[in-house]
C-alpha cells in the first residue's frame, strides 16, 4: 500500500524486519537529537545503572530498576509521539483540545517518573542505610 505525499515521497509498508528495525533505530536517533527530556532520562538511566552495579543489587532489584527505567523512556516516547501528531494537526495555532492532549501525555511521563523514584527509594535506601 502506498500513499503519495506533497513532496512526492512515497510511503510504503516495510519490506523486511531489517528495514523496520532501521526505521525504529532512526526514531531513536531523532529522539536523542531533538528531545532534551529524552536525553535527560537516558543520562539519568545510565547513572542509575552504574549505581546499581556499584551497590551490587540482586536480580529481583534489577528487574524493578529496569522496569522503572523503561517505563519512563516509553512514556517519553509516547509523549513525543503525541506532541508530534498534535503539532501536525493543529500547526502553530492554539487549540484547547490540543493543549489537553499534550498535557495528558506529559502527565504520563510524570506518573512514570514518580513510579521510578518510588522504585529507586525502595531498592536503594535499604542498601545505602543498611536497613
The catalytic residue positions are: 76
* Angle subtended by helix axes 96-128 and 36-55, to nearest 10: 10
C-alpha cell at 8: 512526492
Contact 2, 11 (CB under 8 A): yes
Contact 90, 98 (CB under 8 A): yes
Amino acid at each position: 500500500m502506498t500513499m503519495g505525499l506533497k513532496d512526492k515521497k512515497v510511503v510504503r509498508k516495510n519490506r523486511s524486519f531489517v528495514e523496520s528495525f532501521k526505521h525504529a533505530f532512526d526514531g531513536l536517533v531523532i529522539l536523542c537529537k531533538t528531545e532534551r527530556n529524552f536525553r535527560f532520562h537516558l543520562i539519568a538511566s545510565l547513572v542509575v545503572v552504574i549505581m546499581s552495579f556499584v551497590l551490587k543489587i540482586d536480580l529481583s532489584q534489577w528487574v524493578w530498576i529496569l522496569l522503572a527505567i523503561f517505563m519512563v523512556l516509553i512514556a517519553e516516547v509516547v509523549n513525543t509521539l503525541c506532541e508530534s501528531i498534535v503539532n501536525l494537526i493543529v500547526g502553530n495555532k492554539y487549540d484547547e483540545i490540543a493543549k489537553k492532549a499534550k498535557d495528558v501525555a506529559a502527565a504520563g511521563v510524570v506518573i512514570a517518573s514518580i513510579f521510578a523514584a518510588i522504585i529507586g527509594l525502595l531498592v536503594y535506601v535499604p542498601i545505602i542505610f543498611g536497613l
